């Protein structure tokens, strides 16, 4: 039988446990409340919908987490996703469509864009916020020029390419498996590799990292490359999911990714974050959006609720940084 802590030490342990698992508790509480309020919330179809609708945002959120953990910031990932989606779509239309080329080249283009983006930010010393906004405008314009059409449709016989976003294995969308694989790889890179340790040190204290021999600029530039790679993969999944590409820029991806990464405990101040909590942040946002759809809330109300959560998450992050003395 579970006994509530009766000593000061026990209570301290409990507070520490709650502090470490606050996101998990929030996620479970949210699910329980919605499960009670809506009988179809816990159905398999609804959870498949939640997971599938979270994949594109989730992949880009993981990429942004790398940049923020390293002490940087990036607002160009959504534009990079659009451009890489256009690259993939171009390979899939015409007389000789090539699925392998689309799957390989588009993410690599995203990585190159990310590396170039990071090099400009890191070596010029300009503000990551302003620099990536400017780069985003350029990338978005290039993406629109690359599309050159209101809508680019993928041929229906491109089954291998369309399977990525529309296919399923064992009743679970293939894109969900892809997201899980990316999350596992990202977790291993951050926790088990020398690069992951260097990235955390760059975000926590870049001056001390330099003294310790960490190549801070190169480490941070690579984080932008990882963000671009994830945006490129998300672009491929997006085009495959809808069977085409629109030149219209979907700005909601930008807000959703930033909200998910902050809810997921990645600090704007750098040096703090984990893929586990980021995935929880993605799921919490996905559950919230699903609940608002079930409640038939208008789109502008959904955006407002997302904005409120973002403000709360940023406020909590700032408060925690003050407690840490940063």
Average predicted confidence (pLDDT) for the chain: 86
Q: What is the pLDDT of residues 65-117, one digit of tens each?
A: 999 999 999 999 999 999 999 899 888 887 788 899 999 999 999 999 999 99
Q: How many CA atoms lie within 13 A of 220 on its CB side?
A: 29
Output phi, psi for 244, to 5 deg. Answer: 175, -170
Residue 20's pLDDT is 62
Average pLDDT rounded to a whole number, residues 149-178: 87
Dihedral angle sign, alpha carbons of residues 124, 232, 249, 99 = positive
CB atoms closer than 10 angstroms to residue 255: 15
Residue 322 has pLDDT above 80, yes or no: no
Instruction: At 18, list the tokens.
Output: 């709650």
Q: Which residue has the tokens 């760059």?
A: 202
Q: Which residue has the tokens 């904005």?
A: 307
Beta bridge partners of 151: 246
Structural domain boundaries in the chain: 59-250
Return the SS3 of 45: helix
Average pLDDT rounded to a whole number, residues 127-153: 79
Q: What is the pLDDT of residues 181-193, one digit of tens each?
A: 999 999 999 999 9
Residue 268's pLDDT is 87
Q: What is the pLDDT of residues 260-276, one digit of tens each?
A: 998 888 988 889 899 99
Residue 227 has pLDDT above 90, yes or no: yes
275 vs 183: CA distance, rounded Å: 7
């Amino acid at each position: 039988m579970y006994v509530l802590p009766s000593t000061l030490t026990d209570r301290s342990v409990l507070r520490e446990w709650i502090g470490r698992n606050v996101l998990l508790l929030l996620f479970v509480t949210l699910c329980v409340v919605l499960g009670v309020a809506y009988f179809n919330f816990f159905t398999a179809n609804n959870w498949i919908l939640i997971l599938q609708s979270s994949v594109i945002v989730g992949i880009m959120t993981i990429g942004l987490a790398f940049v923020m953990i390293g002490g940087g910031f990036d607002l160009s990932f959504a534009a990079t996703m659009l451009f890489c989606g256009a690259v993939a779509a171009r390979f899939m239309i015409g007389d000789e469509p090539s699925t392998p080329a689309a799957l390989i080249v588009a993410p690599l283009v995203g990585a190159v864009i990310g590396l170039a983006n990071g090099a400009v930010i890191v070596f010029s010393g300009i503000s990551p916020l302003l620099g990536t906004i400017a780069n985003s405008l350029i990338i978005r314009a290039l993406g629109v020029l690359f599309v050159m059409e209101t809508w680019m449709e993928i041929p229906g016989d491109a089954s291998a390419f369309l399977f990525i976003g529309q296919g399923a294995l064992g009743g679970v969308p293939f894109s969900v498996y892809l997201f899980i694989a990316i999350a596992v790889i990202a977790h291993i890179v951050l926790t088990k590799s020398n690069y992951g340790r260097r990235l955390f040190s760059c975000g926590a204290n870049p001056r001390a990292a330099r003294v310790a021999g960490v190549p801070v600029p190169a480490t941070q530039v690579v984080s932008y490359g990882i963000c671009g790679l994830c945006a490129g993969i998300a672009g491929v999944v997006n085009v495959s999911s809808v069977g085409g590409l629109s030149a219209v820029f979907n700005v909601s991806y930008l807000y959703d990714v930033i909200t998910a990464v902050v809810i997921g405990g990645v600090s704007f101040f750098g040096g703090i974050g984990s893929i586990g909590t980021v995935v929880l942040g993605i799921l919490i946002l996905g559950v919230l959006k699903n609940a608002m759809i079930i409640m038939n809330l208008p789109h502008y109300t959904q955006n407002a609720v997302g904005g409120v959560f973002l403000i709360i998450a940023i406020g909590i992050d700032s408060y925690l940084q003050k407690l840490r003395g940063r």
